[in-house]
Structure 1
Amino acid sequence: MFTRPSKLPGRALAGMAVASFAAVGVALVAQHQFGVKPCPWCVLQRGIFLAVGTFSLLGWLVQARRSLRQAALVIVLLACVAGLTAAVFQHEVASQTASCAMGLADKILTALNLEEFWPSVFMVTANCSEAAAYRLIGLPYEVWSGLLFAGLGALGLIVLSRR
């Protein structure tokens, strides 16, 4: 007969936005209050979290229009894949090198002019091997970041598959 629309997409999108913005907030508190210096890959992941949060929020705002919500979710999923890739690369490759200057992350940040746009968020102050030494509850920050990108991506897939 008459079925009520699911509240999952809206709640999930709102939760994804909050989690993404909160991740950047935690990174900024760690940096500015506890002296955790970010490397280019850390800063790039902040930008990706901001993109995930922004498109999740947009998807939530247009949730009544399924096609627009789905488009926002596809962008969120692509950003989650990019973020997970960045986190894995940082953990497995970049953190093992003495310097990650002018690598891919540095080139992207320079091309987007993010350090000039918002230095308190996007200023790179460490190299990758220095950043690898920082831990949050025993795990490197990039591992937490990768886990959050994976979780957000999984939730995004669930929402995308809902009718």
Structure 2
Amino acid sequence: MIERLLQHRPRVLFALAALCLAAVIGALLAQHVGGVRPCPWCVLQRGVFLLIAAVAALGGLAAVAAQSAQATVVRVAAVPLIVLALAGLVAATYQHEVAAESASCAMTAADKILTALDLEMRWPEVFMVTADCREAAAYRFLGLGYEIWSGLLFALIGAVGLSLALRRPAPETK
């Protein structure tokens, strides 16, 4: 089944975009309905998921439009997906291993990026930081911290991106 899905590369890109949007929607529901307060690292990961969704959707659209060069377009789109997935995995790992032990996330890389991009002011419903890292580390979903779920999803995206980038085009059948 996975083999069959990977033959339809634009669908894989659209599925990745949908998965990332679902992750952000889940985080927003947890925040605004469930009372889970995000730290700068949580919010930064939301931004990375949104970037991955945009790249994947644009790559899927470009691949559909470029029928004859579809495999090449998907490979090109996979490169930024891999880089963004790695960036997200680093952020999730840093949040879990380092930031969660700190009472303050102020002036960490995540806080500096969010401040430089002015995301809290532009789109506070999505990017407003309302907790410190230690407080955010206490939240759990199905027994695991949110940053663990986030890291697992980034790892999955990276693996799929690698598969798309390295996979040889299927031979044409006549």
* Residue type at the aligned position of 1:53: A
Work out whether 1:60 is the aligned partner of 2:65: no
* Residue type at the aligned position of 1:81: L
* Residue type at the aligned position of 1:131: A
Asked if structure 2 preserves the Cα contact closer than 8 Å seen for 1:31 and 1:37, the reply is yes
Superposition map of 1:102-117 within 5 A: 102-117=107-122
Q: 1:156 aligns with which of 158, 161, 167?
A: 161
Superposition map of 1:83-98 within 5 A: 83-98=88-103
Work out whether 1:77 is the aligned partner of 2:82: yes
- Could you report, residue by residue, the CA deviation over 1:126-156 in whole angstroms, capped at 9, with x for unpaired residues? 0000000000000000000000000011011
What is the TM-score normalised by the length of structure 2? 0.87
Partner of 1:132: 137
Superposition map of 1:10-49 within 5 A: 10-49=10-49
**36-45 or 96-105, which moves further after superposition?**
96-105
**1:75 and 1:68 mapped to 2: Cα distance?**
12
What is the TM-score normalised by the length of structure 1? 0.93
* Residue type at the aligned position of 1:28: L
| SS at structure 2 position matched to 1:124 | coil
**1:128 and 1:101 mapped to 2: Cα distance?**
9
What is the aligned residue count?
158
* Residue type at the aligned position of 1:72: A
| SS at structure 2 position matched to 1:17 | helix
Structure 2: gaps spanning 5 or more residues: 1-5, 170-174
RMSD: 1.1
How far off is 1:124 after superposition? 0.2
Asked if structure 2 preserves the Cα contact closer than 8 Å seen for 1:17 and 1:53, the reply is yes
Partner of 1:118: 123
**1:118 and 1:68 mapped to 2: Cα distance?**
32
Asked if structure 1 preserves the Cα contact closer than 8 Å seen for 2:48 and 2:84, the reply is yes
**1:73 and 1:94 mapped to 2: Cα distance?**
29
**2:121 and 2:79 mapped to 1: Cα distance?**
29
**2:7 and 2:75 mapped to 1: Cα distance?**
15
**1:158 and 1:104 mapped to 2: Cα distance?**
30
How far off is 1:71 after superposition? 2.5
* Residue type at the aligned position of 2:129: V
Asked if structure 2 preserves the Cα contact closer than 8 Å seen for 1:8 and 1:159, the reply is no
Identity of aligned residues (%): 55
